[in-house]
Amino acid sequence: MRVALALGVVAMLWSAAADAATVHHRRMRHHVIVRPSEPVAAPAWYGFPGYKPIPPEENRNLDPSNFGSG
């Protein structure tokens, strides 16, 4: 019984030491930047098919009462 317990403790310590070695190993991270060949943002004139653009006076997102807290 003592042998099994001793082997279990040794195996646990051995695996913990192996995990600790990978934690302290410094990895090089290469950041990849992919630049699109075409513009990603939609053009200013883009709209949903069948709908006219919203005039600024009807656009609630531009309403000054929506800004700030209160």
Look up the pTM and report it: 0.28
Question: How confident is the model at residue 26, as a pLDDT?
Answer: 66
pLDDT digits (tens, 9 = 90+) for 10-50: 777 777 666 565 555 666 777 888 787 776 776 666 677 78
**C-alpha count within 13 angstroms, C-beta hemisphere, residue 59:** 7
pLDDT digits (tens, 9 = 90+) for 46-68: 677 788 877 878 877 767 777 76
Tokens of 21: 């070695």
Question: How confident is the model at residue 14, as a pLDDT?
Answer: 73
